[in-house]
Amino acid sequence: MEMDVSANIYFEPIDPHPRAIGTFAPSSFQEAMRKAGFELPCVLDASAVPVLSGMAATFGSNSPNPYEEIIEAIETHGKIRLWAEY
DSSP secondary-structure letter at 48?
G
What are the residue ranges spanned by the domains of the chain?
9-85
* Distance in angstroms (rounded) separating the CA atoms of residues 37 and 53: 14
> Contact, 40 vs 8, CB < 8 A?
no
Residue 74: pLDDT over 70 = yes
Residue 15: pLDDT over 80 = no
- The CA-CA-CA angle for residues 3, 9, 13, to 5°, reads 165
pLDDT 10s digits, 31-41 = 999 999 999 99
Residue 82: pLDDT over 80 = yes
Residue 11: pLDDT over 70 = yes
Look up residue 76 and give its amino acid. Answer: T
Task: Write out the H or E segment, with its range, that includes residue 46.
Answer: none
In which band, very low, low, confident or very high, does the pLDDT at 1 lie, cut at 50, 70 and 90?
very low
